[in-house]
Amino acid sequence: MSIGMLNKYRIIHELTRTQNGQLLLAQHTETGQRVVLKTPLFQTDSEFSLEEQLARFRRESDIHLYLHHDSIVPALEFFEDNGRPFLVTAYCPYPTLRRLHEQGVRFSPLEALNIVQQLCQALHAIHEQGVIHRDIQPENILITEEKKVFLMDFGCARKVFAPNITQEKCLQGKLCIQGTLYYMSPEQLLGQTDLDFRTDVFSLGVILYQLLTARLPFDGNSLQDMVQNLLANEQPPAIRDTNPYVPLSLEYMVFQTLRKDPDYRTPTARKLALEIEALLDDPALYEAEARWQLDQANARDLAQQYSLYALQKDAYHLPALQLLGALFREREAWDKAQSCYQRILERYPEEADAHFYLGEIDSHFQNYAAASYRYEQACQLNPQDRDYRLALARVLSRRSRQYQAVEHLQALIEQNPDWVKPYAELAGIYYSEAQKEAALAYYQKAAEIAPHDPEVLYPLAALQHELGHYFQAQESYEALRVVDPHNTQVCHNLANLYYLLDELGESRTLLEELLASHQRPRSPEWEMTYRLLAFVYTRLNLHEEAVEMYKYTILCQPDNLENYLYLAASYRDQLQLQLAISTLNYVAELPLGREEAVVYFLLARAYYEQGKEKEAIEALEKCLTCHRTLPQSMAWQAEEDIAELQARLLARRRNKARNSRIAPFRQRAGQSHARQSTMNILSFPGSRDRVV
C-alpha cells in the first residue's frame, strides 16, 4: 500500500508487514487523530480460500470492535476499500513485551504481578463476552513506560460457542513466528477443539513465569524439544532457582496456572486476578520486592519503602526487619536500626544475628561493655559462627582485655587456619602492645594466606617500613601497587621509602606522576606529598622547585605554620634572605601556638645572616618571652646569641666613638703627611743633588 489517501485517512508510512497482514500508520483527515490501519495480505497458496481469509479477518474485526476495556487497544471502525478490508485501531506507540525481553529489561516481582493483573482484567472482560483470545504472547502485549498494559491482535480469537477454526488452521502462516507455540496450553498445542477460558490462563502463566525469570518455562533446543518438555514434564524448573526474590506463595500461584490438566489449573482469569490481589497482602512479597530493588536496581529508598510496606502487613516479619535494619545501618540511622533488632528479639529472642548487630551498634558508639555482652550472646546461640567470635575478640581488645582477645583469636586460627582475619587482628594487638616483631610475624602469615589482599599488605608494608626493613617494605609496596595501582597512600609511602634509600630519582618520578595524575590537588590530604617532593628537590639542589612545592603545602594547609617555616628555610638555602624574613614576619602576625618561639628564633637567624644585629636581638628577645613554647635549650642559645650580638654592637659602638675622637688628629696628621710628601717630591732632586 503506497503512501496517499485511503477513505478519510492519510497514510503516513508502513509500520510492519508480515506474511498475513500489514499495519499502516495513518491520520484522520478531519480530527488529526493518528490511527493504525490493519489489513490482511491474502495468500493464494493457503488452505483457506480467499473468501475464508476475508471472513476470518471480518470475524477478528467484529470481535475486536465488540470488546471494550482500558487494557485492550481500542478498535475504532471497520471499512472496505475496493473490496479490501481495513480495521482501524488506536495508535499506541509503545514497545511490545517481546521487544522489552529482547532488550534485556528485567521486571521486579510487583511489576510482573501488575502486568499480569492488568492482563487478567482484560481477559476477564473478554471472557465475559464469551470470547477466547487463544494467542496471549509477548508480541501481542504493549507496555507503556508506566507499566500500563494494552492487549491487541484478536486474529486467533473466537467465541466459545462459535463454529471452531482449529488452532492449526488459525496459526497457518504464523508458524514462522514460532514464539507463539511456546505460550500455548497443552490442549491447544494438541489441537483439541473444545477449548475454554483456561487455555488463556495457561498462556498468562507462561507470561508471568517469563516476567519473573527472563526464560520460558518449557524450552528446548528445537521445536520438538519444546513440545516434548511441555507435554512430558510435570512442571517447569523452580522459579526461585533462577530468581531468589520470588516468594514461595508467588511461585506456587504461577505453577497452578501451568498445570497440564485444565481441571487442576487456575480456572479463570478473574480467579487469577483475585489470587494476585490476595498475594498483595503477603508481607513476603514486599520484602522480596525490597530485596529486588536493592540488589537489581540499587534503589535504597524504594527498598526501605517496600520493607515498611511488609511491616505494615506484619509488624514482626523477620526478613523485612532484617533488611530494614541493614538499610538503616548502612545509612548510619543507628536509633532506627537498633529499634529493628530490638523488635526482632521481642518475637525471636534466639535470633543470633539480632544480638550481633546490636553489638555492632554499641561498638560504633564505643559502648564496648554492652557490645561485649551482645557478642557473647550471639556466640552462645551460634558458636560455629566465626564472625561473631572475631567481633568479640575485637571488642575485648578495645576493653584492654588483650589476654582474652588473644585466646579467642588463637582459637579461631586453630579452627580456621586459612582465614586471614584473626592473623591480622592478632598482629594489630601485638603492635598496640609494642611487640612489633611478633606483629610482623602475624602480618607475614596473613600475607601468605592472602598475598593480594590490600588490607593485609598495607599494614605489613607500613610495619616493615617502620622497622627499617626497607627492601622488604619496597617489595610489599610494589605488590600493593599491582593490586591497587591508584592507591595514593601506597604511592606516597613508596616514594618516601625511595627517599630514605637515597633513590631520589625514583622518588621524584613517582611523586611527580602522582601529583600530575590528580591535577596538582590542593586538599589537605595532599600536604605531606608536596612536602616530601620538596624534600626530594632540596636533596637534588633544585631549590626553586622545592620553593614551589612548599607553596603548594601552604595552599593545602594554610593554617599549618610548619609549611611557612619550611618555605622560609628554603629561601635561606637560596640566600634569598629578604624573602625568608618577609615570610617569617608574615607568620609572626598569625596565631602561632606551639611554633611561636621557633618563628622568632629563625627570624633572628635570618636577620643575623643579613647583617642586621639589632633586628636579630629584638627577635631573640621576643623569642625569650614565649615562655609557654620555649624549649630550655633554645632559651640558652637565645641568651648566648643576645649576649654575643650585644657584645658585638657594644664593641662596634666603642670603635665608632674612638674613631670619632681620633678622627681630627688623623685628619691633621694626614694633611701634614701630604704636605711632607709633596715637599719631599718637590725637593727630592735637589736633596739628591745635595747628597751627591
- Whether 65 shows a pLDDT value over 90: the answer reads yes
Q: How confident is the model at residue 685 (pLDDT cuts 50, 70, 90)?
A: very low
φ, ψ for residue 291, nearest 5 deg:
-65, -40
Lowest mean pLDDT among 354-368, 445-459, 608-622: 608-622
Residue 478 makes CB contacts below 8 A (sequence gap 6+) with 494
Distance CA 140, CA 118 (A): 14
| Residue 31, C-alpha cell as written in the block | 480530527
Give the H/E segment covering residue 516.
helix 504-517
Give the pLDDT mean for 277-301: 95
Cβ contact 476:464 at 8 Å = yes
Please say whether the beta carbons of 207 and 138 come within 8 A: yes
Is the model more confident about 119 or about 4?
Answer: 119
Q: In angstroms, rounded to a whole number, what is the distance separating the alpha carbons of residues 575 and 594? A: 27
Domain ranges of the chain: 1-91, 94-280
Compute the distance between CA of residue 137 and CA of residue 169 in angstroms, rounded to an integer. 18
DSSP classification of residue 252: H
Q: Which of 482, 535, 485, 487 is nearest to 507 (CA)?
A: 535
Provide the H-helix boundaries in 467-503: 470-483, 488-500
- Looking at residues 637-651, what average pLDDT do you find? 87
E strand or H helix that includes residue 98: helix 97-102
Domain 94-280 class?
A: mainly alpha
| pLDDT interval class at 674 (50, 70, 90) | very low
Question: What's residue 179's pLDDT?
Answer: 45
- 525: its cell numbers: 590530604
Quick count: other Cβ atoms within 10 Å of Cβ 145?
7
Q: 85-99, 390-404, 407-421, 630-644: lowest mean pLDDT where?
A: 630-644
489, pLDDT greater than 50: yes
pLDDT score at 49? 78
Rounded Cα distance between 260 and 262, Å, is 6
Grid look-up 555492632 returns 360
Helices first, then strands: H and E counts in the chain: 31, 10
In b/e form, how buried is each residue of 177-210, taking b as 16+ CB within 10 angstroms?
beebbbbbbbbbbeeeeebebbbbbbbbbbbbbb
**Would you place residue 665 in the very low, low, confident or very high pLDDT band (cuts 50, 70, 90)?**
low
Q: How confident is the model at residue 407 (pLDDT cuts 50, 70, 90)?
A: very high
Which residue bears the cell 477466547? 132
Give the cell for residue 145.
Answer: 513506560
What SS3 state is found at 12?
strand
For residues 529-545, give the mean pLDDT.
95
Please give the average per-residue pLDDT across 285-294, as a whole number: 96
Greatest Cα pair distance in the chain = 171
Mean pLDDT, residues 113-118: 98
Query: For a pLDDT cut of 90, what percent of the chain falls above it?
Result: 67
pLDDT in tens, 347-394: 999 999 999 999 999 999 999 999 999 999 999 999 999 999 999 999
- Of 104-108, 333-337, 602-606, the one with minimum mean pLDDT is 602-606
Q: Say how many C-beta atoms besides its own lie within 10 A of residue 655's C-beta.
A: 10
Query: Is it the case that residue 171 has pLDDT exceeding 60?
Result: no
With residue 622 as reference, give the H or E element that holds it. Answer: helix 613-624
Average pLDDT, stretch 41-53?
Answer: 78
What interhelical angle do 198-213 and 269-279 show, nearest 10?
A: 40
Q: What is the mean pLDDT of residues 87-111?
A: 96
Residue 203, pLDDT > 80, answer yes
Per-residue model confidence (pLDDT) at position 668: 57
Cell numbers representing residue 223 in the block: 521445536
What band does 233 get if pLDDT is binned at 50, 70 and 90? confident
566 grid coordinates: 619550611
How wide is the angle at C-alpha 158 spanned by C-alphas 38 and 21, nearest 5°?
Answer: 20
pLDDT band at residue 525, thresholds of 50, 70 and 90? very high
Which distant-in-sequence residues (6+ apart) come within 8 Å of 198 by Cβ? Answer: 185, 262, 265, 266, 267, 268
Confidence of residue 626 (pLDDT cuts 50, 70, 90): confident
CATH of segment(s) 1-91: 3.30.200.20
Amino acid at 585: N
Banded pLDDT at 173 (limits 50, 70, 90):
very low
Q: Residue 83: what pLDDT?
A: 84
Sorting pLDDT into bands at 50, 70 and 90, what band is 18? confident
Tell me which range, 23-32, 186-195, 619-628, is most confidently predicted by mean pLDDT: 23-32
Pick the residue with more confidence: 19 or 234? 19
Lowest mean pLDDT among 159-168, 240-249, 603-612: 159-168
Answer yes or no: are the C-beta atoms of 38 and 18 closer than 8 Å.
Answer: no
Q: What are phi and psi of 499, to 5 degrees?
A: -60, -45
Taking the C-alpha atoms of residue 130 and residue 132, their distance in angstroms, rounded to an integer, is: 7
In contact, 467 and 438? CB cutoff 8 Å: no
Q: How confident is the model at residue 167 (pLDDT cuts 50, 70, 90)?
A: very low
Q: Report helix, strand or coil for 6.
A: strand
Helix (H) or strand (E) holding 302: helix 300-313
| Residues 503, 507, 510, 514, Cα dihedral to 10° | 170
Distance CA 617, CA 607 (A): 9
Lowest mean pLDDT among 21-35, 591-605, 636-650: 591-605
Helix (H, G, I), strand (E, B) or coil at 235: coil
Distance CA 301, CA 390 (A): 32
Return the pLDDT at 587: 84
Its pTM stands at 0.72
Helix axis angle, 109-128 to 198-213, nearest 10° = 170
Q: What local confidence, expressed as pLDDT, does residue 43 receive?
A: 75
Q: pLDDT class for 622, splitting at 50, 70, 90?
A: confident
Closest CA to 478 of 516, 452, 504, 442: 452
Dist CA 583 CA 30 (whole Å): 84
